[in-house]
Amino acid sequence: MRVSREQMAENRERILETAATLFRERGFDGVGVADVMKAVGLTHGGFYGHFTSKDDLAAQALGRAFANANRWTSEAKAADPQAPLQAIASRYLSPSHRDDPGHGCPVAALGCDVVRQGGASRLAATEGVRTAIGGMSAIAPGETEEERRASAIASYATLVGALVLSRMVDDEALSDEILAAARAALEPTQQ
Amino acid sequence: MRVSREQMAENRERILETAATLFRERGFDGVGVADVMKAVGLTHGGFYGHFTSKDDLAAQALGRAFANANRWTSEAKAADPQAPLQAIASRYLSPSHRDDPGHGCPVAALGCDVVRQGGASRLAATEGVRTAIGGMSAIAPGETEEERRASAIASYATLVGALVLSRMVDDEALSDEILAAARAALEPTQQ
DNA sequence: GAATTTACATGATACTGATCATATAAAGAG
DNA sequence: CTCTTTATATGATCAGTATCATGTAAATTC
């Protein structure tokens, strides 16, 4: 049956957000079109009225996930203007982020999947990473702009790598140790 | 038809190595049992004489990939005893490693896939990561053993994160920049 | 060298999942 | 209020894939 224009827009929105979460939780191949639609409360057939294909959805959901996650940077700056990098690290490397991939960093959750993804998804990821680096550069230490940018990239890499490692291991103590070590490495070096 | 005992062992070996490469290139879900067997030059039916299931193969292939990759640490120590960490970084963050996931670091290639994998694969990964951290600790800077270990974990995370990011982006200049920034961050801080 | 074992080939089977064709009922236009 | 449009539901199709049953010929064994 038909729904109102407004309802349809909301449905599309929910499909996108739900997909963004499910993909991060189970990977692109671990989620079917029907799974997403069911989670939203619709049936699989209607999907193609909103998106042209699963790949299309994947690309847009990835863009959404990046947009949500990249907001963390400005939130950190607002929360702790003195040490925004530590604020980000603290949130990014927290057990709650580790244990909830569905609402966290798309790079840590889908990074290696995206590498094998074609076209639109790769573009969305490239744009997302570029934006993330830009945002981190604004809060990274360093005299020159180049220094800050290089430092931002390195910090970003450390965050991503540590989170992936902490999620991989099947040993909570080791997992916590990894998070703590990365947090420590991102503290300002007060020689 | 039947093959010699020796030939059978070699076949099993080739299945394992081929799977380790294909999984890293295309992900666990991107490779079928038939794909692996075909790449080895056998047919899909014989597979279950060597492994009990695809999951079994995945776990063993992951273990093999870790074993191969963890050898890099000792190779770096042998190649450049003065600066083994820089030797590893140089190899790990090279364009050739970035462009050949099939023969590289299993964390960067399969990290987020493993997180969703159950049982045996998770265990193999945990063991592999533990060994990697142990190997890196031996060449990490620091006064105490704890310092070296924490530093090793952070360096490992930076390597992994940078490689994943460099593979994700669809822009060679940005990709190279990421590799260079991470390499720079791993240089000894000669304050 | 005959008897037995077995690694692999062939060919089901059963299931999942992406996509599409068609139907329907409700929204929006007049 | 009627007519037209269309968002979604239902159901089918088609392809891919893990796993298993059975056959066969070559390697071991005695």
A100: domain CATH number is 1.10.357.10
Domain membership flag for residue B21: no
Taking a C-beta distance cutoff of 8 angstroms, is the pair B10, A9 a contact? no
Give mean pLDDT, residues B156-160.
98
Could you tell me if residue B79 is inside a domain? Answer: yes
CA A64, distance to chain mean position in Å, is: 9
- Any domain includes A149: yes
Domain that holds residue A173: 53-185
Q: With respect to residue B133, please indicate whether it lies within any of the assigned structural domains.
A: yes
* Span B43-56, pLDDT tens digits: 998 999 999 999 99
Q: Look at B170 and A126 and tell me if their CB atoms are within 8 Å.
A: yes
Distances (CA, A) of B66 to A27, B22, B80, B103, B135: 22, 14, 22, 10, 12
Question: B33-81 pLDDT, tens per residue?
Answer: 999 999 999 999 899 999 999 999 999 999 999 999 999 999 999 999 9
Q: Give, in Å, how far the C1' of D22 lies from the CA of B9.
A: 24
- Residue B113 CA to residue B123 CA, distance in Å, equals 14
Q: Which residues contact A38 (CB under 8 A, 6 or more apart)?
A: A44
Measure the CA angle with vertex A178, ends A127 and A133; round to 5°: 20
**CB of A45 under 7 A from strand C?**
yes
Residue B191 confidence class, pLDDT cut points 50, 70, 90: very low
Q: Residue A189: which pLDDT band, with cuts at 50, 70 and 90?
A: confident
Q: Kindly state whether residue B143 falls inside one of the protein's structural domains.
A: yes
Q: Residue A51 phi/psi, 5° resolution? A: -135, 150
Pairwise CA distance, residues B75 & B130, whole Å: 18
Instruction: Establish if B105 belongs to a structural domain.
Output: yes
Closest Cβ–Cβ partner in A27, A156, A162 for B116:
A27
In this model, does residue A77 exceed pLDDT 60?
Answer: yes
Instruction: Report, as an integer, the average pLDDT of B9-14.
Output: 95
Domain annotation covers residue A33: no
Residues of A in contact with B122 (CB under 8 A): 168-170
Find the residue in A nearest to B128 (Cα).
Answer: A169
Asked if A104 and A112 count as a contact pair (C-beta separation under 8 A), the reply is no
Amino acid A3: pLDDT: 87
Residues close to nucleic acid strand D (C-beta < 7 A): A 1-3, 5, 7-8, 11-12, 37, 42-46, 49-50; B 1-6, 31-35, 44-45, 47-48, 53-55
Is A160 in CB contact (< 8 Å) with chain B?
yes
Residue A1 has pLDDT above 80, yes or no: no
Confidence at B190, pLDDT banded by 50, 70, 90: low
Is residue A95 within 8 A of residue A176, CB to CB? The reply is: yes
A64, A23 contact by CB (below 8 A) = no
pLDDT above 70 covers a percentage of chain A that reads 99
End-to-end alpha carbon distance in chain A: 67
Q: CB–CB of A44/A35 below 8 Å?
A: no
Mean pLDDT for chain A overall: 95
Confidence of residue B136 (pLDDT cuts 50, 70, 90): very high
Mean pLDDT of B159-186: 98
B4 touches strand C (CB under 7 A): no
pLDDT for position B61: 97
pLDDT at A190: 53
Cβ–Cβ below 8 Å for B153 and A170: no
Kindly report, residue by residue over B85-107, the tens digit of the pLDDT: 999 999 999 999 999 999 999 99
pLDDT recorded at residue A83: 93
Taking only residues 76 to 105 of chain A, the set having a beta carbon closer than 8 angstroms to any beta carbon of chain B reads 101
With a cut of 80, say whether residue B19 has pLDDT above it: yes
* Residue B138 DSSP one-character state: T
Of the candidates A14, A159, A15, A20, which has an alpha carbon nearest to the alpha carbon of residue A102? A20
Distances (CA, A) of B4 to B10, B39, B51, B72, B150: 10, 20, 18, 34, 49
- pLDDT, residue B176, reads 98
Each residue of A106-148: pLDDT tens digit?
A: 999 999 999 999 889 999 999 999 999 999 999 999 999 999 9
Residues contacting B97, CB < 8 A, separation 6+: B91, B104, B105, B163
HEC profile of A83-102: CHHHHHHHHHCCHHHHCCHH
How many domains does chain B contain in total?
Answer: 1
pLDDT for res B118: 83
* Residue A120 lies inside a defined structural domain of this protein: yes
Strand (E) or helix (H) holding B91: helix B84-92
> Residue A92 is encoded by which pair of tokens?
């990014």
